[in-house]
A and B are shown apart, each in its own frame.
Chain A
């Protein structure tokens, strides 16, 4: 019969329509605005309507998600900040559009470089969110952030980030990337224990 193909198409659309209401009835009230509801709607078993209602429901980003870089600092007991960055410059060398500018600081007396950045700039109007800086940093100092809500109305005032705007404490980093943090801490602990063992054997 002519037109059967069209009718079959319309039946598929109708099924999608009904599915939403069936899901609503099955999950009565828990389908929206709850984390399990969002999970269910984004899984391969989801049926019916698929919308994640931003800003009331935010789809959680996975751990590996990368947006703008941040600099991680260790928090001292008195609230002092110790930057992990040693201004080695590898991130500036590996950045594809060259959007990282680092000013290495020099010891005022001897004039030799000290491993700490005097200033650190990232122009986020050039950054391509590739994550190569975070991947090749040998000191785990620069990492990729998850925060994507950074729209502004004036880019000349806001869009070049200096070291203060980029710095975040280690606790923040551990919160957004727990698995990576645990992995790196394990490597660090192993290195220090190996060094302690070898210095004991030597001394």
Chain B
């Protein structure tokens, strides 16, 4: 991949061949960023064990530059959401995402983080973290083997290669809006949907919105 940096299409004379490299800012910027992604030490459930195995010596991911796994969100580039996302945990996840410094990426590892997984029908499970965060790569599997996770990380690297400074959202003129943190009410409430909730719960009696039937 490093050779691609130098292919700019500009002709120059043979005696300068080995001595000058011409590249574009995009390519060198992307190359340096994709080879030093620092994941955040953030494991929720069983997929976290496979993530630990990927970080361990057999499927070492520090060969890809992800040497340093930082627990602090301020120092991390990548949030690997590994494991089932539950309603009780979602406010913390969104807060952590807001605290990460840009440029930041999210990988949904495993079927639980992608779309709820086998526990989708449960009452405390969110149907995928993309209900709240923008996800870049989805890795299916339950759990994805370490080689599958490495394949997903390579997919993320390819995605980063295709980015361009002029078009990425964190260099646009407007400041990035943080995602509003969900609130734990009688059920999980997304602040972006308050109007919808009001409309549904105040519908007239003949229309059934989902009723809890709770005996509390």
A and B touch in the complex (CB under 8 A): yes
Asked whether B59 lies within 8 Å of A124 as measured between CB atoms, the reply is: no
Asked whether B58 lies within 8 Å of A153 as measured between CB atoms, the reply is: no
Asked whether B138 lies within 8 Å of A67 as measured between CB atoms, the reply is: no
**CB under 8 Å from chain B, chain A span 124-177:** 124-129, 148-155, 159
CB-CB under 8 A for A153 and B147, given A51-B57, A96-B118:
no
Asked whether A153 lies within 8 Å of B155 as measured between CB atoms, the reply is: yes
**CB under 8 Å from chain A, chain B span 143-174:** 144-148, 150-152, 154-155, 159
Residue among A51, A97, A128 making CB contact with B59, cutoff 8 Å: A51
Chain A residues whose C-beta falls within 8 Å of the C-beta of B65 in the assembled complex = none
Question: Is B182 in contact with chain A by the CB < 8 A criterion?
Answer: no
Residue among A54, A123, A150 making CB contact with B150, cutoff 8 Å: A54
**CB under 8 Å from chain A, chain B span 104-129:** 111, 114-121, 128
Asked whether B57 lies within 8 Å of A153 as measured between CB atoms, the reply is: no
Asked whether A151 lies within 8 Å of B148 as measured between CB atoms, the reply is: yes
Chain B residues whose C-beta falls within 8 Å of the C-beta of A49 in the assembled complex = 57
Interface 1/0 per residue, B41-82 and A, CB below 8 Å = 000000000000000011110010000000000000000000
Chain A residues whose C-beta falls within 8 Å of the C-beta of B141 in the assembled complex = 67, 129, 148, 150
Asked whether B142 lies within 8 Å of A127 as measured between CB atoms, the reply is: yes
CB-CB under 8 A for A159 and B155, given A49-B57, A54-B59:
no
Residue among A126, A129, A153 making CB contact with B120, cutoff 8 Å: A126
Closest CB in chain B relative to A125 CB, distance in Å = 3
Interface 1/0 per residue, B158-202 and A, CB below 8 Å = 010000000000000000000000000000000000000000000
Residue among B116, B121, B137, B144 making CB contact with A125, cutoff 8 Å: B116
CB-CB under 8 A for A153 and B138, given A53-B63, A58-B147, A148-B144:
yes
Q: How far is the CA of A127 from the CA of B117 in the complex (A)?
A: 7
Question: Is B140 in contact with chain A by the CB < 8 A criterion?
Answer: yes
Q: How far is the CA of A67 from the CA of B154 in the complex (A)?
A: 20
Asked whether B151 lies within 8 Å of A153 as measured between CB atoms, the reply is: no
Asked whether A52 lies within 8 Å of B58 as measured between CB atoms, the reply is: yes
CB-CB under 8 A for A124 and B111, given A55-B150, A150-B140, A153-B138:
yes
Q: List 28 A-B residue pairs with CB atoms under 8 Å apart, sorted by A's residue number.
A: A49-B57, A51-B57, A51-B58, A52-B58, A54-B147, A54-B150, A55-B151, A67-B141, A97-B118, A97-B121, A125-B114, A125-B138, A126-B111, A126-B117, A126-B120, A128-B117, A128-B118, A129-B142, A148-B141, A148-B145, A148-B148, A150-B140, A151-B155, A152-B137, A154-B138, A155-B114, A155-B130, A159-B114
